[in-house]
């Protein structure tokens, strides 16, 4: 009888310990994933602005992102991107090209290159896989609404043909979202700014009106704009930044007047359900780092 009582006592102690460990432990089948996208503005003046490059690299390091998508890596080589990535703790990186306006991606986990597509895109398309997610790093045409529509149709078709259920499309879309039409439509100065110059064969408008077709195409892939219900969309502008003050006839007044969202992180519906947070960093030091503002999305995903 005494032996049985001792066994029961130790069994109770064991059950209490197991319960305590279970309650205090983090779920073993999920992990946090932080995804950052940033247009760094002409590769820090094609590598000549070392001060801005160092400041930007340090800022990215502070964000502790797991995956970083970059646009306008002008003048970059594979080694340069690898060097920057190492400074923010990423061992893996892929650069789209070494001419023009390249995109790139870095990660703290291995990256599988799926495709580098230069033509017929304006700047090219980079498709990689990391964390079991297909990443499409985009930088669509800054000058032509018809061209952007063609680009988004191609990306959407590639995703559909891939059969992937977990994908992220992120980068500089140079496109307005229909979700932002409420404050974009009455912005007459912004419409004037988008009107084509005399003799130009390109226009950012469609029949003289703001164009939302590119973003609408991506949304129909299907893809979810992760900023929805996570941030105030009107306050989450990504372009232009105060770094453009005094350049290209820009003033702080016109910069504020023309502030819009053109950089996005879009995700497949199944992945969007795991998004827990979105942040656009459009104040403070990021006013000096680029003409665009960076944004980051956080996910709680299955390992």
Question: Per-residue pLDDT tens for 158-193?
Answer: 999 999 999 999 999 999 999 999 999 999 999 999
Sorted by sequence, the CB contacts under 8 Å of residue 275 that are 6+ apart come out as 226, 230, 267, 297, 298, 299
Q: What is the mean pLDDT of residues 283-296?
A: 99
Ordered strands of the 103-107 beta sheet: 92-95, 103-107, 67-71, 30-39, 295-302, 275-280
CA gap 146, 166 in Å, rounded: 28
pLDDT in tens, 219-235: 999 999 999 999 999 99
Within a domain: 213? yes
**What range defines the domain where residue 202 resides?**
31-302
Give the pLDDT confidence score for residue 29 in this predicted structure.
64
Question: What DSSP character marks residue 124?
Answer: -
Answer yes or no: is pLDDT of 24 > 70: no
For the packed helices 78-87 and 50-63, what is the interaxial angle rounded to 10 degrees?
50
Within a domain: 25? no
CA gap 134, 112 in Å, rounded: 9
User: In the structure encoding, which two tokens stand for residue 245, read together?
Assistant: 């003050």
Answer yes or no: is pLDDT of 47 > 60: yes
Q: Domain tally for the chain?
A: 1
**Are 278 and 297 within 8 A, CB to CB?**
yes
Residue 211: CATH number of its domain: 3.60.10.10
Within a domain: 163? yes
CA gap 280, 7 in Å, rounded: 58
What does pLDDT average to over the chain? 92
Within a domain: 15? no
User: In the structure encoding, which two tokens stand for residue 63, read together?
Assistant: 């964000």
Within a domain: 11? no
User: In the structure encoding, which two tokens stand for residue 208, read together?
Assistant: 């003289």
């Amino acid at each position: 009888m005494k032996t049985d009582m001792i066994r029961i006592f130790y069994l109770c102690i064991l059950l209490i310990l197991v319960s305590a460990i279970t309650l205090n432990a983090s779920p073993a089948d999920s992990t946090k994933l932080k995804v950052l996208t940033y247009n760094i503005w002409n590769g820090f003046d094609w590598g000549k602005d070392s001060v801005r490059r160092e400041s930007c690299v340090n800022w990215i390091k502070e964000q502790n992102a797991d995956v970083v998508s970059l646009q306008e890596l002008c003048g970059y080589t594979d080694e340069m991107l690898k060097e920057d990535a190492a400074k923010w703790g990423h061992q893996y990186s892929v650069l789209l090209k070494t001419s023009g306006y390249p995109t790139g991606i870095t990660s703290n986990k291995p990256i599988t290159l799926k495709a580098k597509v230069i033509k017929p895109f304006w700047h090219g398309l980079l498709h990689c896989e990391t964390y079991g997610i297909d990443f499409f790093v985009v930088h669509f045409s800054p000058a032509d609404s018809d061209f952007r529509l063609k680009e988004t149709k191609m990306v959407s078709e590639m995703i559909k043909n891939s059969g992937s259920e977990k994908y992220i499309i992120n980068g500089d879309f140079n496109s307005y979202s229909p979700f932002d039409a409420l404050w974009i439509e009455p912005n007459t100065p912004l419409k004037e700014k988008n009107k084509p110059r005399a003799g130009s064969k390109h226009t950012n408008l469609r029949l003289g009106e703001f164009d939302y077709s590119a973003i609408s195409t991506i949304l129909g892939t299907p893809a979810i704009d992760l900023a929805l219900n996570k941030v105030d969309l009107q306050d989450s502008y990504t372009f232009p930044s105060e770094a453009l003050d005094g350049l290209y006839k820009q003033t702080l007044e016109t910069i504020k007047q023309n502030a819009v969202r053109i950089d996005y992180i879009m995700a497949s519906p199944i992945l969007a359900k795991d998004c827990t947070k979105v942040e656009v960093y459009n104040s403070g030091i990021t006013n000096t780092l680029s003409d665009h503002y960076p944004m980051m999305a956080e996910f709680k995903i299955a390992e």
